[in-house]
């Protein structure tokens, strides 16, 4: 069995020296435990934050220890009646081929609703992040103009479609490069695509939304957040979901210099951490899986094969190598 450990804390962009592929034994379960053969694992931008010595909201990864993150697999040994051998479960011990965990820390998934790996994407915390942001943190109201950044990515591609379902009149997305910009319109149903690599996002947004925006789903931070505040309409709402433009920064990143416009606009800028919205999971699985089943919610994934490619997948997600959810399929 193989696992990937944190070899060193990266400074700036992580590289191959950040990771170490190591051999371990296949574990045996104690009473109440299960062993899962992981078949899919997720790589996520937040993992870059957890590589830092100080993380405000979680335990940092330990040097020399295997990384953790969402994964999915089949139970191959069980000493827990609630989760028998053969169950397909999601859990949080990714980055390894075999995971040993308490049965209570595994969630059995219903693979009749959608392919199993969808529980790491649209039906997992990714999809829930989009749903909780647009229903609770920065709620969409019928007729709204909505902007979603990192719109070709896992959260963003779902968010644009959910915004439409909730009654948005216009949904603008931004992504990097002409292919992704085209994809968000043709694949994910955005009305307009902006290319953050083609020029300043502020000018493009002002042109695309001459009367302003009501809701912004911020996956990027920095110049994108500043542009959203500038174009926000009265009573506008911003969900602060991610700030990927600054995760590799080696210096403190200046905040938007126009925050006080929020007062004049009676607007809301609200942070969201998905762990505080897990109560919405049953509602989201019910609605999201129905939309997937009737074909009205489209999702994509970018897949790399083999645990040895997990570092490459992770570096790729930070650089934008993915469309939809970046996943690693374990052999
Ligand atoms: P994505 O699938 O969206 O992948 C990240 C994307 O970010 C890349 O594909 C790339 O797309 C884009 N990107 C990278 N650098 C920049 C940059 N400098 N400017 C603009 N875009 C950039 O990842 P996720 O959907 O998993 O996550 C999206 C965001 O949501 C992240 O910031 C993440 O941390 C956050 N998140 C927060 C959660 C919470 O609880 N608060 C939960 C889940 C995610 P492109 O090629 O278009 O540039």
Regarding the beta carbon of 150 and ligand 1, being less than 6 Å apart is answered yes
Query: Residue 85 phi/psi, 5° resolution?
Result: -55, 135
* C-alpha span between 29 and 298 (Å, rounded): 38
Same domain, 133 and 266: yes
Q: Would residue 295 count as lying in a domain?
A: no
Is 289 within the bounds of a domain? no
Pocket test for ligand 1, best of 242, 270, 321 (most atoms within 8 A of CB): 242
154 lies in the same domain as 268: yes
Cβ–ligand 1 distance for 176 under 6 Å, the answer yes
Tell me if 9 is assigned to some domain.
yes
Q: Are residues 82 and 170 in the same domain?
A: no
Q: Is 50 in the pocket of ligand 1 (CB under 6 A)?
A: no
Q: pTM of the predicted model, to two decimals?
A: 0.97
Q: Taking phi first (over 0 means left), then psi (-120 to 50 degrees means alpha), and beta for anything else, what does residue 29 get?
A: beta
Ligand 1 proximity of 241 Cβ (cutoff 6 Å): yes
Shared domain check, 325 and 313: yes
277 lines ligand 1 (CB under 6 A): no
238 and 137, same structural domain? Answer: yes
What is the tens place of the pLDDT at every residue in 86-127? 999 999 999 999 999 999 999 999 999 899 999 999 999 999
Q: What is the CATH number of the domain that holds 249?
A: 3.40.50.720
Number of domains observed in the structure of the chain: 2
Give yes or no for residue 173 CB within 6 A of ligand 1: no
pLDDT digit string, tens, across residues 243-266: 999 999 999 898 899 999 999 999
Say whether both 37 and 116 belong to one domain.
Answer: yes
pLDDT per residue as tens digits for the range 122-142: 999 999 999 999 999 999 999
Percent of the chain with pLDDT over 90: 96
The enclosing domain of 78 has a CATH number of 3.90.180.10
Residues with Cβ within 8 Å of 264's Cβ and at least 6 positions away in sequence, in order, are none
Q: How far is the CA of 281 from the centre of ligand 1 (A)?
A: 21
187 lines ligand 1 (CB under 6 A): no
The answer to the question of residue 286 being in a domain is no
- Residue 285 maps to a domain: no
Range of the domain at 39: 2-121+300-329
Phi, psi of 20 (to 5 degrees): -135, 130
Q: Are residues 144 and 83 in the same domain?
A: no
Decide if the complex's ipTM is over 0.90: yes
Q: pLDDT tens digit string along 141-175?
A: 999 999 999 999 999 999 999 999 999 999 999 99
Q: Whose CA is nearest to atom 36 of ligand 1?
A: 242
Using the Cα atoms of residue 8, residue 13, residue 14 and residue 15 in order, give the sign of their dihedral.
negative
Structural domain includes residue 290 = no
> Is position 245 within any domain?
yes
H, E, C per residue of the chain: CEEEEECCCCCCCCCHHHEEEEECCCCCCCCCEEEEEEEEEECCCHHHHHCCCCCCCCCCCCECCECCECEEEEEEEECCCCCCCCCEEEECECCECEEEEEHHHCEECCCCCCCHHHHHCCCCHHHHHHHHHHHHHCCCCCCCEEEECCCCEHHHHHHHHHHHHCCCCEEEEEECCHHHHHHHHHCCCCCEEEECCCCCHHHHHHHHCCCCEEEEEECCCHHHHHHHHHHEEEEEEEEECCCHHHCCCCCCCCCCCCCCHHHHCCCEEEECCHHHHHHHHHHHHHHHHHHHHCCCCCCCEEEEECHHHHHHHHHHHHHCCCCEEEEEECC
């Amino acid at each position: 069995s193989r696992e990937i450990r944190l070899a060193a804390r990266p400074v700036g962009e992580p590289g191959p020296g950040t990771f170490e592929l190591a051999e371990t034994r296949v574990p045996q379960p104690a009473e109440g435990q299960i062993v899962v053969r992981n078949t899919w694992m997720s790589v996520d931008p937040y993992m870059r934050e957890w590589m830092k010595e100080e993380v405000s909201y979680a335990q940092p990864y330990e040097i020399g220890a295997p990384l953790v993150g969402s994964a999915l697999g089949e139970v191959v040994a069980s000493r827990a009646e609630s989760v028998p051998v053969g169950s397909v479960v999601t859990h949080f011990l990714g980055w390894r081929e075999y995971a040993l965990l308490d049965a209570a820390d595994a969630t059995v998934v219903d693979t009749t609703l959608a392919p199993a790996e969808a529980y790491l994407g649209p039906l997992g915390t990714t999809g829930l992040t989009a749903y909780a942001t647009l229903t609770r943190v920065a709620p969409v109201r019928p007729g709204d103009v909505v902007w979603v950044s990192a719109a070709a990515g896992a959260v963003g591609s779902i968010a644009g479609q959910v915004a439409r379902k909730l009654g948005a009149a216009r949904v603008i997305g931004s992504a990097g490069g002409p292919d992704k910009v085209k994809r968000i319109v043709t694949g994910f149903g955005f009305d307009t695509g902006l290319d953050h690599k083609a020029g300043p996002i502020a000018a493009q947004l002002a042109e695309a939304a001459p009367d302003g925006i009501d809701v912004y789903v911020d996956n990027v931070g920095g110049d994108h957040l500043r542009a959203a505040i500038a174009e926000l309409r009265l009573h506008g709402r911003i969900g602060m979901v991610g700030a990927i433009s600054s995760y590799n920064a080696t210096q403190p990143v200046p905040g938007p210099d126009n925050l006080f416009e929020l007062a004049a606009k009676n607007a809301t800028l609200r942070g969201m951490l998905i762990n505080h919205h897990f109560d919405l999971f049953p509602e989201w699985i019910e609605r999201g899986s129905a939309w997937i089943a009737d074909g009205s919610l489209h999702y994509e994934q970018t897949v790399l094969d083999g645990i040895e490619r997990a570092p490459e997948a992770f570096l790729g997600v930070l650089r934008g190598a993915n469309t939809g959810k970046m996943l690693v399929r374990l052999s």
